[in-house]
Chain A
Amino acid sequence: MKLSTYNFLTSKAIKGVKVGYPLKLTIAKKDVVETEFNPTFIERLLPKLDWNTVYLAAQTVDLADDIPQEQPAAVADNEELLQRLHHLLLEIDVLEGQLECPETGRVFPITDGIPNMLLNEDEV
């Protein structure tokens, strides 16, 4: 699971959960996969992302020094930041770990890079 995907996942389908976002991410094993840097794509991706969750992801992989806590007004002109975002969001691949619902503590395991978000019938 890339950290970009982490930005899209929620536990809101659990009965009684209001927001279910962001999930709490714990990483046991990760990989870094080099991919081609496309600054324009990162720019287009940004409006889809929740910055707070981007920052949380950076903290989880000890890259919080690379990413400002608040979203800067002009990211587009900041090639270096775009490069760092590219690395954080598209190159780090979580292989083992877990996601946790912020409201109920329900744990979703990540195995072989695949988060298991499936809920039991009595949870929905």
Chain B
Amino acid sequence: MDTPHIDHLTSQDYDHVYEPAEDSFLLLDALEADLEFIENELKPVVCLEIGPGSGIIITAIAKRLQNTICMACDINPYACRVTKRTCLRNETHVECVRGSLTDAFKPNAIDLLIFNPPYVVTADNELETSDKFGECTSGNLVHSWAGGKHGRRIIDILLPQLDHILSAKGVFYLLLLRENKPDEIMEQLRQLGFQSKKFMERRIPGEFLYILKVQRLDS
């Protein structure tokens, strides 16, 4: 999988969207490492990335998976526009939607779901004080990393919805931080009817990151 060009993005863009970092690259590496499965077994018809930010991940996927409808949904309007620009720069196409998590998508359609969530442990009011629905404020950036208690605020909203969003064979790749308590999340997933494994992990300065690969128990 080629790493997309991002030389069209400027420091002004990074005032509004999450700049690709170690977490982004770990998720890219994990998807690359699992390409054999994705391309030959899963053969996704529909792929959705939640929170594309700069668009680096979904653009790489769209470029590689020619026979997949690739969509991306971010609450940050700037991220939606930047993702479109990243696609153009890399001569591919992703359908961008502004919205929260998977709220806007009809049930059980997604074969490949990807999310590098706002996972940093923060005070819950960090999110409340930002202007979630305004246009392009610095609040946009707070939403790219602020995860609330255990960094799990957004993750915990999404998990119970997985059953409604994934297709029968659907697979979900989720980036987690050790502080998010991945083992607890895996147990929670099992109770929701999903098997999961730590597909990849990486120590980076000050953080320990995991990629969870999640599938239905009966798949």
Contacts and interface: CB of A to CB of B under 8 A. Distances in A.
Interface of A: 1-2, 4-5, 7-13, 21, 33, 35, 38, 40-41, 44-45, 48, 50, 112-121, 124
B106 A120 contact: no
Contacts of A38: 67
Interface string B64-90: 000101010101010011001000000
Interface stretch (B8-16, B96-104, B180-188): B96-104
A117 B97 CA distance: 7
B67 A116 contact: no
Given A9-B104, A48-B109, A113 B69 contact: no
Contact of B98 (A8, A35, A118, A121): A118
A2 B133 contact: no
Say whether chain A's binding surface is mostly helix, strand, loop, or mixed: loop
B84 A113 contact: yes
Interface residues of B, number: 27
Given A8-B46, A38-B67, A119 B103 contact: yes
A91 to B, nearest CB: 11
A45 B167 CA distance: 13
Contact of B100 (A12, A41, A112, A118): A118
A11 B98 CA distance: 13
B45 interface: yes
B45 A48 contact: yes
A115 B84 contact: no
Contact of B109 (A8, A13, A33, A115): A8
A92 B105 CA distance: 20
Interface string B121-132: 000000000001
B13 to A, nearest CB: 16
11 contacts: A8-B71, A12-B106, A13-B100, A35-B93, A40-B67, A48-B109, A112-B81, A113-B84, A114-B81, A115-B104, A118-B75
Interface in B37-65: 43, 45-46
Contacts of B96: 113-114
Nearest to B75: A118
